[in-house]
Structure 1
Amino acid sequence: MSSIAKVGGRLRKEWFLLALVGAVVLASVWPDLGRSGGWLRLELVSNWGVALVFFLTGLGLSSAALRDGALKWRVHLLVQLSTYALFPLLWWAFMALFSRWLPQDLALGFAYLCALPSTISSSVAMTVLARGNVPAAIFNASVSSLLGIVLTPALVSLMSGASGATLPFGEAVWKLTQLLLLPLVAGQLLRPLLLGFHQRHKASISLVDRWVIILLVLSAFSDSVASGLWRDHGAELLVKAAAGAAVFLVVVIALTRLATRLLGMSVEDEIAAVFCGSKKTLASGVPMAKLLFGAHPAVGVIVLPIMFYHQLQLILCSWLAQRYAARPVAGTPSAPQAQQSVR
């Protein structure tokens, strides 16, 4: 009985991952349900759902925490360079090595992964678990999301030329401003009035975010399956997407950790830099993909790398956070040795 209870608890904990997989399976066997013009008419609610997600994100951002983390400029510089410079450079190297084996749409998906901002919630959660510099993590993850409104479409436009696609930069930024930045700013402005409501219903608000993402994934994959996703690619596509995502994650974590040591950062700052600089956002990535590539017949392929990356980063960063958290509190006799073992 205890084993069944453990399995049930594990399934409840991982319900979001299971729901994402379920959305892909449902889209694969019944694409007319979620495709544009299909039974659910998801294209009619996509924009409102995206705006709602970012309004709730703005509502949850703490201005005080942002101010507290603003002074760690070396951490900020490293995180933003990792997010918007290191990842694109690695993409060019990745393409030079593996482009002959990658379908064009999947190559664009990896370009999109590398252009995305950091994630807010899990970056901060991992930093808290690892006993790192939480204000710096909040500041960097939040700034990364704001920069992504301009830098993500700019980088995708730059990289997509190499993968044979095009993206109108000005139109993309305007769309993201309307449906991401303005709702986020509105959430911040209304935070003093709605903070109590947000704190009382935090669990329900988190569910709203996740269900919007699930519906967007269903919509994206339904359109792609209807356009011949599995007919043209098959299971090999999933293997390539997962393997590529794993390569990017491991390399970036290794390089960001190395950079923090070369810069002589404290362990607390290293934790914030590693977790914020290596993460990519699924919560913003899927809505942004619908805005940037909504008319693309293979948008389901484009979001595959970020879906795999999201799960892999949670697994690897959870393990890494536990290793960091196991170090003794600074000042105890074994603290220097513990720092070396973590590093």
Structure 2
Amino acid sequence: MAGVSAVLCSIIFLLICIYMLFVMWVMSIDVTAFLRPLQNNEAILNVGLIVVGLMLMCIGSRCSRCRHPDDEVLPDCYEDVDGSVILDFDMLATVMTKKDFPQIKRRPKFDWRNVQVVCDPLIYKGGADAIKRSSRVLYTRAYTNPGKTAVTHPVHICRATVSTVEVFILRTFVINKVMRMQFGSMKSASGANFDPEIAEKLNLQKGLIRTAHFDQNWEVHTEVSVPPNTKITIQLEVEEEIYEGEFELLSKMIGNVRVLEGKKEIDAWSSLRDFTSVVCNEGLSKDEDGHLNYLSRGIIKYLFVLGHTVNMLEKPLGKKQERNTN
């Protein structure tokens, strides 16, 4: 409000000056007539200029203080939070006003520099019905031996697949741009291990979709011995797991979130408890080591390649039946 008052005063003063000049112009008042007696007194003119300069400096300093309160200059790693959303940490996106916590006089700033987030494995809530398994053939080649002696062929197969994971966070703790979710391990809904590279690419943040791609190369070096009058077909087959459903993720925040009210530091946990009187997240707790634990929820979709098999289908020439020699 102080800033608004200073601006209004400046505007009113400017309008008064313009009005006085307009009146002088209408009444044909010679403004220079007031200055002629002072032309021979240079000292008075200099004093007048100094007084005007000091007045302008005072007005500029006042306006500067109104625009920028005497807060500590903070580096980029501090998050400046809107005054209408203070100390609820966005866990339920609950908008709270200053009436709920009159103790806060200034907008707090959150310092995340010393914070690390470590996540437990995902907890899948979709159940067994949400898990689908399928197989597909990546490579096929037939070896035919119409002769009377066995023939051996070297086999070299190299194919690539792509696993994808897409995550949408419905609710989580506030994550600043300098914070990173670190997955110790990440498993599929059936318990198969994802490649660590996938987990590294999933930097979760509420309301944003995160997609990770992982390229896998399947390479096979073997040989096939084809009996006389026989055809053998080699197939490289991969098994895929597809899942779409909800999940929960328990995370631990290691390190302290510093909350600064101006130059005064206040405790984040005490502020949350005292000023809101509510625990906004049923998964929110503080362990014996003082680490903040919280529960995130979201939706996950993935197509994960579990592994590969090499099939050899044997068929005598001139007959319809086949025999799998895998």
TM-score, normalised to structure 2, is: 0.21
By relative contact order (CA 8 Å, sep 6+), the higher-ranking structure is: 1
Higher strand share: 2
Higher helix share: 1
